[in-house]
Structure 1
Amino acid sequence: MASKLVMITIFILDLIAFGLAVGAEQRRSTAHVQPDSEGNYNYCVYDSDISTGFGVGALLFLLASQGIIMVASRCFCCGKPLSPGGSRAWAVILFITCWVFFLIAEVCLLAGAVRNAYHTKSIPFYSDTPQHCQILRKGVFGAGAAFVFLTAIVSQFYYVCYSSAREKFQPYGGETGVGMGAYK
């Protein structure tokens, strides 16, 4: 039976990561053009940098969640072997899927946080060159949130399948020698 404490902890961490990623998408930096005091330059003035913090927070909560699930399952490759069957097959498939979704989510969150942090610095440009203030593309944190959600679902199923396959394993408990009693 899968540990309920591990599953609840993973669920809470993933829920926080999802909420932070959605918050980061909603609070992306916006910008407006503002001339300098002499009128020689225009500046892109950006608002708050809160979505970068939300994105990094989501990244760290998801990382903690993945770390706990891998420690609890001994990263699938350490510990006693799993019993052959459907649970082990699903555990292997879900383990790989969980890592793929996790890596995509982390890349989206990291890229969004870095690009959003970059687009919060005032950048001067000449007033005669038309330039739009660059902001983070809409949907980067949203994609991260979607993959956080998928990672949360798949990691829960992975842990249940792993636990089921681990509990069903029965090591060979017979004699170590070859039984020759029938050949007397």
Structure 2
Amino acid sequence: MDDTFDFFELLRRLEQRGGLFGYSGRADREPARLGQHVRLSFSAKDVVEFREAKDKTPGNDGVPARVTVANLGLMGPEGPMPLHLTRWVLDRLSQRWFTGADARQTSDTTFVDFVNILQHRMIALYYRAWADAHPAVQVERAVGGRVRAMLEAMAGTGLPGTQNPDLDAVKLRQAASLASQVDGPERLT
């Protein structure tokens, strides 16, 4: 992953592939799983890790994309949980808790995995609130969001009887001249 990725930019790109964060209600219907990187220090970057999704194969459901962020979450210096809980989690992550552990498993991630189930929804809704407040993000989506609905209403083309999927893009480009009350030379064409 490129170190220059911003949190919002990465999630916008993931949404362009399909699915929207914060609307589905279930994590498996969203473009990626979101979680927090547990640490005690402040982070210099928003996205700590991004892992691409692994495709589904026969007999295997596949692994969704995973985004690990540092700027949002319940633990750490920015989170609402007490710092001693973050220290306890980091202590569990730094040692092997039972002798029957797999060679690849070097830490106990059960508590972090549980908290990331809760944090996925919180981070997705945080992103959704940001995306709904920015018109440029809304226009990128196929449905267009509120900005498109407002433009169609101002142009008089957003009513149920006036919608035509073939001409909607043309009408939207001409929304300013359609909504104008003043006749000018540009409206003659």
Fold equivalence (TM over 0.5): no
Relative contact order, higher structure (CA 8 A, sep 6+): 1
Instruction: Considering fraction of residues, name the structure with more helix.
Output: 1
**Normalising to structure 1: TM-score of the pair?**
0.26
Larger-Rg structure: 1
